[in-house]
Structure 1
């Protein structure tokens, strides 16, 4: 099966709602104020409801309920709001069959994203961009599930992200990194996101100077180990040691992991 065939099989390409597209552009504008973001969020009932739900979750709830978008936006803050809007746009673009565990899929995506952000801070690169790349790293998996379910049903469930991608390549002729990168290209997402998705299974081949694919590869390896060993303990830490983690302070990373990963799971609960 060729990559073009998969996209040809789709009656409609998954799309991001117009309001969400406008909001994403607003977040990238340094002149944007949070009150203008709140007014645009109010235009999309789905995103607005998720913002209110997150603001009133255990993670952010204060002494009173948040009942307006203005108040909710101020409570969660600019960066969290940006993440939620982008995540809401991504999750709303796809519909899968009942056999695919969408909630688990997004929980894993946010875990990889959270780890990417920690790794980015260690390496001195933009943590928000790293988080976005991590959250979107396996969009190709969703497109395979929605666009070629007859193929997806024959794929083996594997623990390792890299092994899963290799399995797809063997059976379909391409893997989710290629599919996700092509979707990102058709969505006109920034080149840095396209490259992070495309080269996550071969980060050393990424364009010179681009570290995002490497961060995604490292974060996916760590997330796989956490899943395999039931948490971010010593066994998971030892399992990820190797050349891929060169330059990373694993002790510092694993010390911070439990709190960070638990906090960002609030997103997957809100989006489910």
Structure 2
């Protein structure tokens, strides 16, 4: 199957909640303000509670407690709140595409880990809107679930390949595209903003890694995740390829701290988004 057919399957099986689209419209409308966003979210008590827990989590580390949606918007900004809503929505998407071939809890943990590592690296690199890397990391391997659900035989053949090589190299071999490329295209079909889907879609393009920091950063976060979560097979994986190093300038200490941060905080975030 082509990447377009998997994207079509994903679009038919799961659509973004209307709330996500309405928040996006409000953010893009210069006549709207934070009160408009707060009113939308506040009518959903369950979502409001989850957003407040996330706003008070290690993702932001504010010194004072954020106890209301209006305060959350004023402190972290409308775009950050939108990203948190998308992160919460991602959990529902994962469940929609649950497959017996993938342990959903392990897959979700790994996805959040990638998001936490990416967010930390972005913040330390002073990248604008660093919290969006949390969402990118979470959604980066969404398509793996879609593919396993839609094409179990092909996915099983991919899983059974014991030849050496990185996952995205094997993905190109079996599917003619990487899971990140497919995930980014699904995100694009959901009309998520360009700064969310474009880095994911191009995460494994070496030329774009060398040219664009956002792409290099999310690629590095995925390498960290792979090395730390599957140490037996990828424990010696190079985190900084020449292409990544060309556009992402961080110290070795920052990489170590990103690992420590993700190791410490991932399970807390997993427990918040259920």
Instruction: Choose from 199, 205, 209 the match for 2:208.
Output: 205
Are the counterparts in 2 of residues 24 and 85 from structure 1 also a CA contact under 8 Å? Answer: no
Cα distance in 1 between the residues matched to 2:88 and 2:27:
14
Using a 3 Å threshold, how does the CA distance of structure 1 residues 11 and 197 change in structure 2: closer, same or farther?
Answer: closer
Are the counterparts in 2 of residues 143 and 180 from structure 1 also a CA contact under 8 Å? Answer: no
Alignment match, 1:269: 271
- The Cα shift of 1:145 comes to 2.6
Alignment match, 1:42: 42
Alignment match, 1:175: 178
RMSD: 3.9
2:93 is equivalent to residue 93 of structure 1: yes
Using a 3 Å threshold, how does the CA distance of structure 1 residues 29 and 135 change in structure 2: closer, same or farther?
Answer: farther
- The Cα shift of 1:10 comes to 5.8
- The Cα shift of 1:236 comes to 6.3
Where does 1:1-272 land on structure 2 (aligned, <5 Å)?
1-7=1-7, 12-26=12-26, 32-33=33-34, 36-44=36-44, 46-48=46-48, 50-51=50-51, 71=68, 74=71, 78=76, 81-94=81-94, 95=96, 96-126=98-128, 127-156=130-159, 163-205=166-208, 210-229=212-231, 240=239, 242-244=241-243, 246=245, 247-272=249-274
Are the counterparts in 2 of residues 7 and 147 from structure 1 also a CA contact under 8 Å? Answer: no
- The Cα shift of 1:242 comes to 4.8
Using a 3 Å threshold, how does the CA distance of structure 1 residues 252 and 239 change in structure 2: closer, same or farther?
Answer: same
**Secondary structure, counterpart of 1:223 in structure 2:** helix
Are the counterparts in 2 of residues 165 and 176 from structure 1 also a CA contact under 8 Å? Answer: yes
- The Cα shift of 1:17 comes to 0.4
- The Cα shift of 1:26 comes to 4.8
Cα distance in 2 between the residues matched to 1:188 and 1:58:
28
Higher mean alpha-carbon deviation, 14-23 vs 69-78, is at: 69-78
Q: Normalization by structure 2: what TM-score? A: 0.73
Report the number of matched residues: 257
Cα distance in 2 between the residues matched to 1:45 and 1:157:
44
- The Cα shift of 1:54 comes to 5.3
- Segments of structure 1 that go 5 or more residues without pairing to the other structure are 61-65
Cα distance in 2 between the residues matched to 1:74 and 1:226:
36
Q: Normalization by structure 1: what TM-score? A: 0.74
- The Cα shift of 1:18 comes to 0.4
Are the counterparts in 2 of residues 117 and 131 from structure 1 also a CA contact under 8 Å? Answer: yes
Cα distance in 1 between the residues matched to 2:238 and 2:182:
29
Cα distance in 1 between the residues matched to 2:21 and 2:38:
15
Cα distance in 2 between the residues matched to 1:117 and 1:149:
32
- The Cα shift of 1:104 comes to 2.0
Cα distance in 1 between the residues matched to 2:154 and 2:141:
17
Are the counterparts in 2 of residues 158 and 164 from structure 1 also a CA contact under 8 Å? Answer: no
